[in-house]
Structures are given as C-alpha cells and as structure tokens.
C-alpha cells in the first residue's frame, strides 16, 4: 500500500474571486478533413491546443510554427491564429472563458513576449491524461455537473502547466538574449553598409518584427537606431583622428548625402560635425 500527501492550498494561480470556464473542446483526428479557417481571433476566450500525435503547422500572429507530438500551443484572446493548419495529426483544442491568471490580462494564457508554442517534454503523459479525462466527459458536456467536472479538470491542467510555462518563458528569454547578441554582432560587422531591417532579418532567418522586438528589449534601441549610433560613433573617431572633410567622413560612414549626415550627427551629438571637431581640438 502507498499513501501520498499533498501540499496545503495556499497560493492560487487565478485572480481572487475569479473562476475560468471550459467553454469548448474540439477533438481533431488524422482522418478529419475539416474546412480550413482563415486567420481569425477570439475576443472572449483563450485557446489551449495540444498535439497528441502526428505533426503539422500553425500560424499565430505573423509567424508560422512547425508542430510535433507533445507540443502545446497557447493563444491569447485577440491574437490572430489558424490552428486548423495543424490538422495532419490528432489534437485537442480547448476554448477557455473568464480566465484571469495572475499578472496576465483577461483571457490571456501566456505572456505576449513569449513564444506561444511550448514543448510538453516530460509532462507529455501527464498532460495527455488530463486530455483523455476531458475527452471522456465531453459527450455529456451539456450536463451541468459534467461541465463543472470538466472545468475543474481544466483548472488542474493549468496548475500542472504553470511550472512548464514558467520554465518555457525563462528558456525563451535566454534564447532571445542570444539572438539579440547575434543581431548586434551582425550590425557591428555591416553597419557601414546600406543595411535595412529586412536585410538583417533575411540574413538571420527570422521575422523582421521579432528581430526588432528582441533587439530593442536587450539594448533599448531599435536595430536601425543602434546602427545609426554606430555610424555616428565612427564619424566622431574620424573627425578627431583624421583630416578628412565632413563630406568624406559622411561617405565613409554610409551616408551619400552630406547634409543629411550632418542633421543625424547633430541630433545624436548635440552639435554639427565641424563644431564637434573644433570643440575637441581646443582641449
């Protein structure tokens, strides 16, 4: 005989006096050929999507993700998505209403800054057991008692996933930091070229919006702002260490228009290039 004890219930993951409701449950199988929906949003519920087997793709926001067995997709209310693209697999989708997780907005199931695709990993069998329990209850979902039972199972699933989601967010932050360093290194190597945001995104094989978001979060500047500051920093070096004209320095620092260069320089340094050079020579 084995007897187990459980922790006291001290801290809820839900806001005080709120209770989420399991609103819908959809079971997709590999034999299903549903009518595909275009990108859409749910303004009044969050979505939990779990791949039981197989693989597929899903679009969330402006990004398309490849999904494998055990992947969990978490979609906040108001976010454009098309999960039906993933239906080359067995999957279950839950629609959750009145969700108020602490530190998140209404019907938000994950932070907006974190990737919506979470690997279940060692939690796969545990998540699967919750899903199978819900599938058992679903045919009787019109019964109020069954609906209550299903909602409580869904709440239990969210508690189980809390540590997984927190771990995922931490890992995502590390990945973002490493990506930010890659972006910085790329700009440092190419900032004197006619570099556009789309060029950086193509070279690093990532979405332009995501690239800009990650970089600004790390350094506080957009990639273009950082590139501009690198150019002006190089111009300052050339002003103080050479006798090149302002026009020649502008050309060396990636500006074909000397007047525009001087405007940018003045905005960042607080004075025109010629005045900057004279100010330093007086020291």
Q: Which residues lie across from 26 on neighbouring strands?
A: 93
User: 127: part of which helix (H) or strand (E)?
Assistant: helix 124-137
Contact (Cβ atoms closer than 8 angstroms) between residue 44 and residue 79? no
- Reading the block at residue 177, the tokens are 């930091």
How many Å apart are CA 240 and CA 223, to the nearest integer? Answer: 26
3-state secondary structure of 237: helix
- Reading the block at residue 112, the tokens are 């907006």
Domain ranges (residues) in the chain: 21-164, 224-281
Q: Using 50, 70 and 90 to split pLDDT, how confident is the model at 283? A: low
Task: Classify domain 224-281 at the CATH superfamily level.
Answer: Homeodomain-like (1.10.10.60)
pTM value > 0.75: no
Task: Classify domain 21-164 at the CATH superfamily level.
Answer: Jelly Rolls (2.60.120.10)
Q: Using 50, 70 and 90 to split pLDDT, how confident is the model at 152? A: very high
* 179 vs 251, residue with greater confidence: 251
């Amino acid at each position: 005989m084995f007897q187990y004890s459980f922790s006291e219930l001290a801290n809820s993951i839900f806001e005080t006096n709120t209770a989420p409701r399991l609103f819908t449950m959809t079971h997709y199988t590999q034999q299903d050929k549903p009518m595909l929906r275009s990108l859409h949003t749910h303004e009044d519920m969050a979505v939990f999507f779990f791949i039981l087997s197989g693989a597929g793709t899903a679009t969330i926001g402006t990004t398309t993700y490849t999904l494998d067995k055990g992947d969990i997709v978490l979609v906040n209310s108001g976010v454009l998505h098309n999960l039906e693209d993933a239906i080359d697999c067995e999957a279950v989708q839950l629609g959750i209403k009145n969700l108020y997780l602490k530190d998140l907005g209404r019907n938000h199931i994950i932070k907006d800054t974190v990737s919506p695709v979470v690997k279940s990993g060692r939690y796969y069998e545990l998540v699967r057991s919750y899903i199978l329990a819900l599938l058992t209850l679903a045919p009787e979902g019109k019964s109020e008692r069954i609906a209550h039972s299903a909602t409580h199972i869904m709440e239990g699933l969210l508690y189980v996933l809390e540590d997984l989601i927190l771990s995922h967010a931490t890992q995502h932050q590390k990945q973002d930091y490493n990506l930010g360093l890659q972006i910085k290194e790329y700009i440092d190597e190419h900032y004197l070229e006619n570099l556009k945001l789309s060029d950086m995104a193509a070279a690093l094989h990532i979405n332009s919006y995501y690239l800009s978001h990650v970089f600004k979060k790390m350094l506080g500047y957009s990639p273009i702002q950082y590139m501009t500051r690198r150019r002006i920093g190089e111009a300052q070096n050339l002003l103080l260490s050479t006798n090149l004209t302002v026009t020649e320095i502008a050309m060396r620092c990636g500006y074909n228009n000397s007047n525009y260069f001087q405007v940018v320089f003045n905005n960042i340094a607080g004075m025109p290039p010629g005045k900057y050079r004279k100010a330093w020579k007086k020291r």
